[in-house]
């Protein structure tokens, strides 16, 4: 908890309304933030959090309501207005330029210059001072940003915000791509910022993080404030969930179904290796079984999934589906065999964001809807509508651009694609990243239902609780190697963390 949570009020947003054609995204939102506090903003996907932040950062102008900074009413007509007032945002999808250096990114748009010439040495010196102040002096100002880890890039984004003397920093799902050790370091950096009087608005779907780092909480639902000023540590989790969803949700995993000893082995992976990524990976998955891959970011989990799917070519090893060997490095071979992949980055790797929902669902099964070289659009829509209704994709209708859906509903569209194709094997990489608690429960139930229907599932998640709660068996990975394989019920979260930190084989 920050030491200055009782500081004076820095920001007050009152009665903020924002309308788009046919949609009232914000319906009278109130938010106040104090100096030196971590104010957590909660709400389901589609509750209005992103729109509110865009209003605060000048990307959208409100249709009604007032914004006060330091007690003065202000108009934020552009992002520049927001920056000039000391308001900065670090988004989940970082907007750094990967081919520029750390210092060039930190001062992008306001480079130290004299007589029109950039003063590179001064930029490097000042960037080093900012990085030292954040406790990350090990990051070289001259390093190309694209070579840094996700955690390192996040620190660069913070340095960039501070380079403009930010008084308030908005962090949107900052822990989404971090492992547990990196999250702990992020929290240390945040506490350092709040100790200096900087206010942080922290957006996360991980309620345990709210307890660890937050001071106060505001909850949005359907574009309106339903609670504000709640104590982050004292407010019961069940109450936060009820406020976000409008109903009580048991935040538990669906019960496991017993896997019959006679269930056929659907997926076999033998001696799979890729130099520099992973080595000697072996596992099998029966029909109806969920296998979880646990490990730190960079342990090789996602690379294993992509290699099984054929998006990467293995150096050694064999992948079989229903006893038939797949061609290495050939996605078509895997898809024909009934393998589907819901990748980690659904927006960039799985979805056609500007296309309609139905096109995103049918893209892998177009032959089913083709006749004499023409697609039957009506049949496509009908098949997609049946799945979206079954999965409760919101808003209803299959003609919306998928970009307009919340993260949880976008993930349902990805799953619907593979349901339509009747997958034998489904590879799930971070299936609930950026997904709210209500949609998580729905996705957990869907994964269990798929397994009950005989699909073999391999699950990767950075949340150990999620792996242990959903999987029947677990493979723990460290530095590209499996250090443990066994039933999920025979291992707990602490043991998994010991294994991924120490790599002790058992």
Residue 158 near residue 187 (C-beta atoms within 8 A): no
Average pLDDT over residues 263-272: 97
| 1 pLDDT above the threshold of 60 | no
CATH of the domain at 69: 3.40.50.300
User: pLDDT digits over 415-452, tens only?
Assistant: 889 888 889 999 999 888 877 777 788 889 889 988 99
| 179 pLDDT above the threshold of 80 | no
Q: What is the pLDDT of residue 503?
A: 42
- Helices marked H in 144-250: 150-163, 180-195, 207-213, 237-245
Which positions ≥6 away from 117 have C-beta within 8 Å?
Answer: none
Let me know if residue 475 belongs to a domain: yes
Residue-number span of the structural domain to which 374 is assigned: 265-502
223 with 340, same domain: the answer is no
Is 401 exposed, middle or buried, given 0-12, 13-18 or 19+ CB atoms closer than 10 A? middle
Q: What is the pLDDT of residue 382?
A: 93
Which positions ≥6 away from 176 have C-beta within 8 Å?
Answer: 92, 433, 434
Let me know if residue 168 belongs to a domain: yes
User: pLDDT digits over 318-368, tens only?
Assistant: 999 999 999 999 999 999 999 999 988 888 788 999 999 999 999 988 888
Q: What is the pLDDT of residue 5?
A: 44
234 with 370, same domain: the answer is no
Structural domain ending residue among the three candidates 213, 245, 277? 245
Let me know if residue 253 belongs to a domain: no
Let me know if residue 166 belongs to a domain: yes
116 with 231, same domain: the answer is yes
| 238 pLDDT above the threshold of 60 | yes
Q: What are phi and psi of 281, to 5 degrees?
A: -85, 130
284 with 229, same domain: the answer is no
Let me know if residue 255 belongs to a domain: no
Q: What are phi and psi of 348, to 5 degrees?
A: -95, -25
Let me know if residue 226 belongs to a domain: yes
Q: What is the pLDDT of residue 504?
A: 40
228 with 349, same domain: the answer is no
241 with 295, same domain: the answer is no
286 with 228, same domain: the answer is no
User: pLDDT digits over 120-160, tens only?
Assistant: 888 999 999 989 887 888 999 999 999 988 778 888 988 88
Let me know if residue 232 belongs to a domain: yes
273 with 379, same domain: the answer is yes
Let me know if residue 420 belongs to a domain: yes
Structural domain ending residue among the three candidates 215, 245, 275? 245
217 with 286, same domain: the answer is no
Count of domains for the chain: 2
């Amino acid at each position: 908890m920050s030491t200055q949570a009782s500081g004076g009020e820095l920001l007050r947003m009152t009665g903020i309304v924002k309308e788009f054609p046919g949609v009232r995204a914000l319906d009278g939102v109130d938010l106040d933030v104090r100096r030196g506090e971590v104010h957590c903003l909660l709400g389901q996907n589609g509750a209005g959090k992103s729109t509110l932040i865009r209003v605060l950062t000048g990307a959208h102008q409100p249709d009604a309501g007032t914004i006060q900074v330091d007690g003065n009413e202000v108009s934020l007509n552009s992002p520049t207005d927001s920056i000039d007032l000391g308001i900065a945002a670090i988004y989940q999808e970082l907007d750094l330029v990967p081919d520029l250096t750390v210092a060039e990114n930190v001062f992008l748009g306001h480079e130290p210059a004299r007589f029109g010439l950039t003063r590179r040495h001064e930029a490097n010196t000042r960037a080093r001072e900012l990085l030292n102040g954040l406790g990350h002096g090990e990051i070289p100002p001259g390093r190309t940003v694209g070579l840094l880890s996700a955690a390192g890039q996040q620190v660069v984004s913070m340095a960039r915000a501070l380079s403009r003397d930010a008084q308030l920093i908005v962090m949107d799902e900052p822990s989404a791509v971090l492992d547990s050790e990196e999250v702990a370091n992020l929290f240390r950096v945040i506490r350092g910022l709040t100790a200096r009087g900087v206010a942080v608005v922290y957006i996360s779907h991980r309620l345990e993080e709210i307890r660890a780092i937050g001071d106060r909480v505001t909850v949005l639902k359907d574009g309106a404030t339903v609670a504000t000023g709640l104590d982050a540590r004292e407010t019961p989790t069940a109450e936060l969930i009820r406020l976000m969803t409008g109903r009580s949700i048991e935040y538990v995993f669906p019960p496991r179904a017993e896997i019959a000893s006679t269930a056929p082995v659907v997926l076999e992976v033998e001696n799979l290796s890729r130099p520099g990524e992973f080595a000697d990976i072996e596992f099998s998955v029966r029909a109806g079984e969920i296998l979880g891959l646990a490990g730190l970011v960079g342990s090789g989990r996602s690379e294993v999934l992509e290699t099984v799917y054929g998006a990467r070519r293995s150096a050694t090893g064999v992948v079989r589906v229903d006893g038939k060997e797949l061609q290495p490095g050939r996605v078509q071979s895997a898809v024909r065999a009934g393998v589907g992949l819901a990748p980690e980055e659904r927006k960039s790797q799985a979805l056609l964001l500007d296309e309609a929902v139905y096109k995103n669902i049918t893209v892998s099964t177009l032959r089913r809807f083709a006749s004499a070289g023409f697609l039957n659009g009506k049949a496509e829509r009908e098949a997609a509508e049946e799945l979206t209704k079954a999965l409760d994709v919101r808003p209803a209708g299959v003609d919306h651009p998928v970009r307009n859906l919340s993260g949880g509903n976008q993930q349902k569209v990805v799953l619907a694609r593979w349901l339509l194709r009747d997958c034998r094997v489904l590879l799930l990489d971070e299936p609930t990243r950026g997904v709210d608690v209500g949609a998580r429960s729905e996705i957990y139930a869907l994964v269990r239902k798929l397994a009950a229907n005989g699909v073999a599932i391999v699950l990767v998640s950075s949340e150990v609780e999620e792996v242990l709660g959903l999987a029947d068996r677990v493979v723990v990975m460290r530095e590209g190697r499996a250090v443990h394989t066994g039933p999920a019920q025979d291992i707990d979260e602490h043991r998994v963390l010991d294994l991924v930190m120490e790599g002790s084989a058992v």
